[in-house]
Each structure stands twice: as C-alpha cells, then as structure tokens.
Amino acid sequence: MPVTRINIGPVHPSTHGVIRLEVDLDGDTIVDVEPHIGFLHRGVEKLVETRMYMQCPPYMEKLDYVAPMAFNEAYVSAVEAAMGIEVKERAQYLRTMLLELQRIASHLFGIGTLCNDLGQMFTVFMWAFKDRDIVLDLLQEAAGSRMFYVNMRLGGLNQDIGPEFHGHAMKVMDYMERRIGEYEDYIEKNPIFMERMRGVGVLSAEQAKNLGVTGPVLRASGVNFDARKNNPYYIYSKLNFNPKVLTSGDNFARYKVKMLEMRESIRIVRSVLESLPGGDALGMPVKLRSPNPANRIATSSRELPRGEVFMYLVADPQKPYRLSIRSPNFINLAALRHMSKGARMADLFAIMGSLDLVMGGVDR
Amino acid sequence: MLANDLINNILNISFWMSSPSLLYNAIGAIIYLIMVFIIFSVFGYTVGWLERKLIARVQYRHGPTYVGMWGILQNMADLIKLLSKQEVSLAKGSRLLYAISLPLMLSFSIFIILLIPYSPALQATNLGLGLIAVFTIISFMPLLLFMTAVATGNKFAGISAQRSVLILLSYEIPTLMVIAAIGMLSNSYSLQSIVSAQSQFYYVVLMPIGFVILFITLLAEFERPPFDLKEADSELIAGWLTDYSSPYYALSLFLDYARMFLGSVILAILFFGGWSGPSIAPPLFWLIAKAFIIAIFIIMVRATTFRMRIDRVLRFGWLWLIPLSLINIVITYILFIA
Amino acid sequence: MKVEREELKGTISEMKRKGYDYLVKITAVDYADKLEAVYVLRNISESKDEIIEVDMPATDAWVPTIIDVHLSADWYEREMGEMFGIEIRGRRAGRLLLEKWDGVDPPLRKSFTWSAPYRNMDSPQ
C-alpha cells in the first residue's frame, strides 16, 4: 500500500500551539512523524543577553504559559546561584508552596486537553478549567496576578501572603482533593478512555533514558528521577514526599502520574502551610548587582510540571553572558516520533496530549 | 356536508390522496409537505438549541444567552453568519461533485423524512416495505459521504471517507438483522403495522437487545459520538467536511439536524410504539415527545463520552454487535414465533 | 571536565558505561576567543551531574556527533549547530530544525549584530 503523507498544522484543532507535523500513513498506521518546530521561536536566549538580570523574568514566563511561575523560578534560582544569594527561609517555604500550586494548575490543564484530544466534547476540559481557575485565584492572592506572575525576587518574593491565605488555601485543597477523586472516577471508569490509553505510545525505561524525556513522561516509564527528590532544593528534602513512578510507560501511565502528582502536591501544600515559619519573605528590589566573578557558571535544575528545566548561566556583571535553557517540552516533543511509530492515526493526538506540550517552551 | 367532511379531514392525508381528483391529491401533498416541514424544523431547531444548552450545563457553562430568550435564536444567528461568509472555492477535485453531493445527501435525508409516517393520518403512503425502504436509503448515506469527501480531494476527507466505508461494511449487518427481527415480531415491514403491533408491549420490552444494537448502529450511521470518527475534529479537522465552506457548511448543519431527527423518530417508531399513547393528546404529540426524549439521551451521550478508535469500532461491530444481533433473532424466534 | 573534541565520543561512551546514561543538555557558549560546546550528563541512580566542555576555535567549529550514544542528542545537536554555526560531523545532514536564519552570522554567536534601527528605508525593496 502506498504511503500517504499528510500535513497537520500549523493551524489544527489539537496541536496545542503552532507546530506542523508531517505524518506518513500506511492506511491508518503511522509510518513516520516529522515535527516541524520554530513557529514560536522568539530568540529568548539571545534576547536576555541584552537585558539586565531582573528584566528577564517576564521573558522566562512566556516560555511556558501554562506554568509560568515555575519557569521563572528556575531562572531566578540560576541567578541566585550565580550571585551567591541565600533565599530567606520563609520565602523558601512560600516558593515551594507556590510551585506546587502551579503544578496542580498545570496538570489540570494537561488532563483537560488530553481528554479533548481523545475526542471528548470539552467536558473534562471545562471542568478542569473551572478548577484551575480556583487554583489561579489562590495564586492571585499570593502573587498578585493570575497568568503571568513575575513575583520572584532575588532572595525572596515580591510580597508575603496575607493573613487569610491559610484558610483559603486549606479550603481549596480540600475541594481539589474531592474533585481529583471525581475526575478519576469519571475518566478511568470509561472503557473507551481506557482502551485508547492503555498500551498506546509505550516507552520502555531504557528508551526513555536514551530519548532523554523528562518529568511525568520519564517517571511513567519507570525511571525514578524527580529533581525535587534527587537534587533537592528549597525545603523538598525536609518534606516527606515520594516521586510518583509507574512502570508501564504508556499513555495511561503518563496520565496517571499527573493525577498522582496532583494529590502529592496537595499534601505538600498542606504540610508547607502547617509548618510555615515566621519572618520576612521579601526579596531584594529589582536592582543591579554584580555576580560573584569566581563563580561565573551557574546551573539550576528544577522539576517543572512538564519535566526538568536545566538552566546553564554564564554570568557577566549586570547581564547574562549566555543563558542556555533546557526546556522539557523540547525534548519530550523530540520523542514523539519514536513513540508514535506503528500507532494509529487517531493515537497520534492521544500521545501528544499525554506528553502535555507547550509550544512556547519548545521553540524558545 | 362536503365542507364539513373537508374540515374534519384536513390533516388526514390518506383522505386527500384517496380522492380521484388530481386537485385534491395536490392539496393533500402540499398540506403534508407543510406539516412535515413544521414538524422537522421545530423539532430540529429545538433539539439543536437544546443540545447547546444541555452540553453547556454539563460543563458548568450557560450556553447561548444573548440572542433571543435563553439564546433560542443563536442558531439562526449562526446560520446567517455562515451564509454571509465567503465561499472558498476548490483548486483541485471535482467542482460538480462538490456542488451536488451535499445537497444530494440532504435530499436523501429529506426523502426518508417524507417517507416516515407520523401518525395514522399523517403519512405520505403506507408502503408495505416501508422499514426496508427507510434503511435502504439510510445505507446510501455513507456512499454519498464518500462522494462528498472524494469530491474535495482533501486527504483528511479521504481518511474520513475510508472510515465511513469501513463503518458501513461492519455496521450494516447488525442493523439489517435487527430489522429482520422486527419484521418477525410484527409480521410486516410496514411502519404502520409495526406501530399497531406494539399496542400491548413496546418492542423495547420484547426485544431489548435489538434496541441497544439499533441504537448503537444508528449512532454510528449518523456520526454521533462516540462514533463521530468521520469528522473527528481532533484528528481530521472536520473530516469529510474539511473543504466545505459557507453555504455548504450550513447545509451540513441542516444535515446534522435531519439525521438527529431521523434517528430519534425511527427509534421511537420501532421500539417505543410510535404515536400510540393515551388519547388525551393527538398521536403526533406522542411520537414527537418520544423522539424528543431519545434525542436528549443522544445529546447526553455526546456530552460525556470519548471518541472510539476506528479499529476498536470495527472490532466492536464484528465481535459484539453481529453475534448479539444473531442471538437477538434466535431469542425472538424462540420466544414469540415458535 | 574538559576534553578534546576528538576524544568526545569516546569519553561520553565511557561515561555512559559508568552510569551517566542520561543526556541532560547539549549547548554551546561563545567566549569571543573560542567556542565551547557543553554536554551535561547525568547519573540518574546516584543523581550526579557531570558537565563536559569541548573547546574549539570559532573559525573551525565542529564537533563529532554523539547521536549513536545518546539518541536524545539529535535535536540538541541540530539546535546547537544552527544557533552557533557549529558543524556536527558524522551525521546525515537533515532539514534545519528551527527556522532558517537569513542573516550571515549564526544568531547566538557574539559576532551576530542586531539590525540597526531605520534600516532598509532607502532600499528600493
């Protein structure tokens, strides 16, 4: 049978951004997929070389517009490492909590869009967005903004949380825990969902390491690596928390890891709120400060909702000399080709949905 | 006397048709067309609006609210918007097929709509093989869909066309077997006598397996979720409708409503006793009410389910529906014939 | 850890045998007088990172490919090659991964200049 080449994107209902896929089909089976990226390339790595250190966070946030705060935090922590700044203790707790809230919001987005890609009529998508909105309310209260926060300052945050935050957060966490249970009931009891997710897009542990995938994709394949546990930062070493690892490596495992991680995040937020120390959480105002010349190269490795970000910063006085960003979306997308060979045409978007890509992070 | 007779029988189409006068026949045909048009457009429009409202409610949304009371005119506004859009013409493919295939498909649906009896009085003709005729025309639809898709030369439409033929091949057999079972029960393929045969028990009670099978195959035939893989928007953009714009796309929306109407009316006639019901309301009311409830059920299926994959659809058809429909025939034979 | 580019592939295979079986990132830095390719390797079970740096002159910029050691190097190498004008030897030349840059200099090199303001106003195009 001759191979049909079809072109998907850059504008397509379920590509989650601007990406073009060249798909070679033999009947209904995928022979090869070639992703074409670069439609959202903004040259951020070059741009930050012309900006002062604390002018860069807004650019960083646009790299992953679903979990902006987490990306920003990875950058700020690299700058802090270059300058040798210690983060205040209360700020460490608060950052941990905000990052976990961001993870919940981001995973809800991922699960909603995954269900959409599986051909659902926006139902789980809308539910997830409603709940994500509630988490965003919480983030707004803590950080002052809903979508792009820019709330990280060197050594701390731009503002402390208010006195009512504790009560609100506890209430939202109870609500989220109940809702996540409802999602699991609804989604996993659906036989169509299960048969489209189980055994599709399988990635073995060996393949996953070789392809360099990160985050939930790596852990769903049975590789136990979570930067929060393996290279602990902030107060993660003090928290009693376990990375969620599944072994089947298929679409369902990647979905399930996200569900389990949300529950774990709820636990982390609760325990952080309970053990929150007093004191000051404010960081430095946005101003110039020269980094330590002896420590020119700084790295920071952070576990984002979508995977690990690795920042490689060569510092100059005032400006970054070179900032290299390892984005989890980029390398997870590179694995798409290997995962979808031999799958069905309809599974291509199930696999892409389970990778949970954000194109802003792929192109940078 | 004559005037009185006329007024009493104004909605009785067979009265008009049985007259030898051509004028009377013509009047009867016009009355029938107007009645069916009113039934179809009111039903289709209400269900189309209700679909948006109900799905919105499932998803914590409001649905349309602005245009008209409770957004009832929203679909009109959408239709006007679609018709006022520029038509994007075709660079490749067949211009002629492109122009005629969707209207042809819609006219086939309308043909079935005109063929169905809506009450003992309101029917075009009492065909002896009415049920067979209806399903014969329905089984033409995937072929027309294939033609529609091929006319554009679009690859997404091509995949969609392949899927529609595959579904036709595997889902036509259980459909016909259920029809055969219905014929065995009622001793006739005339839709009128099928309804009158249900005066004691609805066929959904006598033949629940058959109802489930026909419900599923009609969902597949009419592209309702979870079998909407011919226009699977997450993979195929709009499937066979990808290259159709403006007036043609508006036609496809009509087609959607027509098929929804057809599916629910056929199920109501075959399994829920059609227009039979307490005499507090006219027979037509009962048929429409039953069809309405079935339509709401189809809408709720759409709101909650995921899309099936083509290989699973076929496997389901061959491994479950065909054996079940055979079992259905056997059970029907043993219980009610032998 | 600094290595010569001729020994790069051997070193990385050796590291993979020692347990550094996960490639985190390949990138490069333009230090005006030289180019430096950076390979970040990770030992997942012991959670240790190792950074390998390869120096090369800017005029003769090439590194050997490590795609047969780490499959994940594919896109990283292509990105680095396009952004820094570094030739990746030993792999099939493929399509450019990101958009093709129409300027002369590779965009992430320091010699790349930002376009002057008000340019192209006099040109007929």
pLDDT for position B11: 67
**C74 interaction partners in chain A (CB closer than 8 Å):** 334
> Is residue B289 one of the residues assigned to a domain?
yes
Quick one: three-class SS letters along chain A?
CCCEEEEECCCCCCCCCCCEEEEEEECCEEEEEEEECCCCCCCHHHHHHHCCHHHCHHHHHHHCCCCHHHHHHHHHHHHHHHHCCCCCHHHHHHHHHHHHHHHHHHHHHHHHHHHHHCCCCCHHHHHHHHHHHHHHHHHHHHHCCCCCCCCEECCEECCCCCCCHHHHHHHHHHHHHHHHHHHHHHHHCCHHHHHHHCCCCCCCHHHHHHHCCCHHHHHHCCCCCCHHHHCCCCCCCCCCCCCCCCCCCCHHHHHHHHHHHHHHHHHHHHHHHHCCCCCCCECCCCCCCCCCCCCCEEEEEEEECCEEEEEEEEECCCCEEEEEEECHHHHHHHCHHHHHCCCEHHHHHHHHHHHCCCHHHHHC
Q: How many CB pairs under 8 A join A and B?
A: 84
Task: Quote the minimal CA–CA distance from A298 to chain B in Å.
Answer: 42
pLDDT for position A175: 92
B225 in A contact zone (CB under 8 Å) = yes
pLDDT for position C115: 65
Q: pLDDT tens across B160-171, in order?
A: 888 888 888 888
pLDDT above 80 for B234: no
How far apart, in whole angstroms, are the C-alpha atoms of residue B15 and residue B5? 10
**B302 interaction partners in chain A (CB closer than 8 Å):** 121
The DSSP letter of residue C101 is: P
Neighbours, chain B (3 or more CB pairs < 8 A): A
- Domain of residue B119 covers 93-337
Lowest mean pLDDT among A114-128, A211-225, C91-105: C91-105
Of the candidates C44, C99, C112, the beta carbon closest to that of A38 is on C99
The residue-averaged pLDDT of A154-177 equals: 88
Q: What residue in A sits closest to C43 (Cα-Cα)? A: A225
pLDDT above 80 for A76: yes
> Is residue B287 one of the residues assigned to a domain?
yes
Contact A345 B234 (CB under 8 A): no
Contact B235 A193 (CB under 8 A): no
Chain C interface mutation, best of A296, A322, A337, A363, highest count of C Cβ atoms under 10 Å: A322
pLDDT above 80 for B120: no
A113 in C contact zone (CB under 8 Å) = no
pLDDT above 60 for A232: yes
Share of chain B above pLDDT 70, in %: 96
pLDDT above 80 for C68: yes
Q: pLDDT tens across A36-73, in order?
A: 888 888 888 888 888 888 888 888 888 888 888 888 88
pLDDT for position B2: 63
Quick one: three-class SS letters along C47-79?
CEEEEEEEEECHHHCEEECCCCCCCCHHHHHHH
Confidence of residue C102 (pLDDT cuts 50, 70, 90): low
Contact A193 B159 (CB under 8 A): no
The residue-averaged pLDDT of C60-76 equals: 86
Task: Quote the minimal CA–CA distance from C17 to chain A in Å.
Answer: 13
Confidence of residue B195 (pLDDT cuts 50, 70, 90): confident
> Is residue B266 one of the residues assigned to a domain?
yes
Lowest mean pLDDT among A39-43, A74-78, A342-346, C96-100: C96-100
* Residue with the larger pLDDT of the pair C51 and B230: C51
Neighbours, chain A (3 or more CB pairs < 8 A): B, C
What's the whole-number average pLDDT of chain B?
83
pLDDT above 70 for C100: no
pTM above 0.80, yes or no: yes
* Residue with the larger pLDDT of the pair B302 and A292: B302
Contact A193 B306 (CB under 8 A): yes
A230 in C contact zone (CB under 8 Å) = yes
pLDDT above 70 for B143: yes
Measured from the Cβ of residue A191, the count of other Cβ atoms closer than 10 Å reads 12
Task: Quote the minimal CA–CA distance from B155 to chain A in Å.
Answer: 7
Q: pLDDT tens across A275-285, in order?
A: 888 888 887 77
Q: pLDDT tens across B48-97, in order?
A: 888 888 889 888 888 888 888 888 888 888 888 888 888 777 777 777 88
The residue-averaged pLDDT of B244-253 equals: 82
Most confidently modeled of A4-18, B18-32, B63-77? B63-77
pLDDT for position B194: 84
The DSSP letter of residue C125 is: -
Which residues 289-328 of A have a C-beta within 8 angstroms of C?
299, 301, 308, 310, 312, 314, 321-322, 324, 326
The residue-averaged pLDDT of B8-23 equals: 72
Split into its structural domains, chain B has a count of 1
> Is residue B174 one of the residues assigned to a domain?
yes
pLDDT for position A286: 63
pLDDT above 60 for B201: yes
> Is residue B304 one of the residues assigned to a domain?
yes
Share of chain A above pLDDT 70, in %: 97
What CATH number belongs to A42-151+158-338+346-363?
A: 1.10.645.10
pLDDT above 80 for B1: no
Tell me if there are at least 3 CB pairs under 8 Å linking chains A and C.
yes
> Is residue B25 one of the residues assigned to a domain?
no
Domain chopping of chain A, boundaries: 1-36, 42-151+158-338+346-363
Lowest mean pLDDT among B139-153, B185-199, B226-240, C107-121: C107-121
> Is residue B23 one of the residues assigned to a domain?
no
Q: pLDDT tens across A283-308, in order?
A: 777 665 666 666 788 888 888 888 88
pLDDT above 70 for C120: no
Lowest mean pLDDT among A66-75, A156-165, A345-354, B5-14: B5-14
> Is residue B319 one of the residues assigned to a domain?
yes
What residue ranges define each of the domains in chain C, with the CATH number in brackets? 2-89 (3.30.460.80)
What's the whole-number average pLDDT of chain C?
81
pLDDT above 80 for A177: yes
3-state secondary structure (DSSP) of residue B285 = helix
Tell me if there are at least 3 CB pairs under 8 Å linking chains B and C.
no
pLDDT for position C124: 56
